[in-house]
Each structure stands twice: as C-alpha cells, then as structure tokens.
Amino acid sequence: MKTLRNEKGFALVFVLILAAIALVMTLSMLFMVSRGSYVSGQQKRYHTAVEAGRGGMESMLQLIANRGIAAGYMTVDNQASLNAKLNAPTTEWIGLDNAIAIDPTAPSTYDMRVDLGAYRVYSKIVDTVQGNSSGSDELLKTGVVNTSTGEVVVVSLPYLYTIEVLSQSTTNATERSKLSILYQY
C-alpha cells in the first residue's frame, strides 16, 4: 500500500510526457514548413512554365498573322503542313496530325517550336474553321469609294484556329504546362 501512494518519479514521468508532446509539435511544425516550401517551389516552377507557354502562344499568333512566315527565333519543321493548316478547314486536311497531344521527341506532332530562356515551347494548330477574311489588310472596311445606299457590305467572318501549346523546361521535363487556345483571325 505504501508503494501505491509513493509520488517519487512522478515529476520525471510528467516531464517525459511534456517533452514528447513538445517533440511531436516541433516535428509537425517542421514538416508543415518544409511542405509549404516544396509547394511554393512547385507553384513557382508551374507559373514560370505557364508564362513561357503564353510567350509561345504569342509567337504562334504572330506566325498565324504572318500567314506562316516564321520569324528568326521560331523553328517550323514542316512548312507545307503548316500552310495547309492555316489555309484549309480541318475537313480538307489529308494526312495531317490534328490530335491534341504533343510529343516533344516527334517533330510531326507539332507545327512550331521556340526557345524562351530555359523553356522550349511547342505549338500546333489542331482545328481550322474557314471564314471569308483574307490575309491582306489593305482595304479594311472602306475602299476607294464611300458606302452608299446601293452597296452591300460584306460581313467579315474570320478564320477560327484551335491551338495547343506545350511549354517544357529543357532541364527538367516535369516542369511543364499545357494551354488550349481558340484564336479568331
């Protein structure tokens, strides 16, 4: 009975329990901080890849506006394929790739690539809906005569292009982003 009421060692057990609780709290805080750093690093790399994709998208839009004439920093591996995609509706494409997937190792799966810093951006036209607008902007809305009551004004129906863009880091293939764009030209 005397050993049951003995309070010797109670302080040691109490301190050990408090130390274990403090250790668990410290470890959980360290885990949360390290996990937060990891997630913020992932978000930073993703946002960088998205911005590179947007830059590649702007390059592709410039290529469309130039009707397939590539600027010096762009690489077009198959000019004939690109011209067919720019000037003909998808139903008239014969043997051209219109799948959404882009494989960076196969040049036949993309139309244009551009290097932007540490990222390489691949883009391709996957669908074209033909309109009545042309590549020339010489006579826009008005010509050499003014509109009178007897003239019929033709409403411009532009081309619609569906474009896929893949941006990928040149050093780490897991750092990438994909964009889908509907562009009216």
- Let me know: does 132 contact 154? Beta carbons within 8 Å: yes
**Number of domains present in the structure of the chain:** 1
Establish if 143 belongs to a structural domain.
no
Establish if 128 belongs to a structural domain.
yes
Q: What is the dihedral of CA 56, 99, 125, 80, to 10 degrees?
A: 110
Exposure pattern of 76-95 as b/e (b: 16+ CB <10 Å)?
bebeebbebbbeeebeebee
pLDDT at 50: 94
pLDDT in tens, 103-137: 999 998 999 999 999 999 999 999 999 877 655 55
pLDDT in tens, 66-115: 888 988 899 998 898 999 998 889 999 888 888 889 999 999 899 999 99
Establish if 49 belongs to a structural domain.
yes
Establish if 142 belongs to a structural domain.
no
The reported pTM is: 0.72
SS3 140: coil
Establish if 1 belongs to a structural domain.
no
DSSP 69-101: ---TTEE-S-HHHHHHHHHS-GGG-SS----S-
> What is the extent of the structural domain holding 50?
13-135+153-184
pLDDT in tens, 133-185: 655 555 455 555 555 666 666 667 788 999 999 999 999 988 999 999 999 88
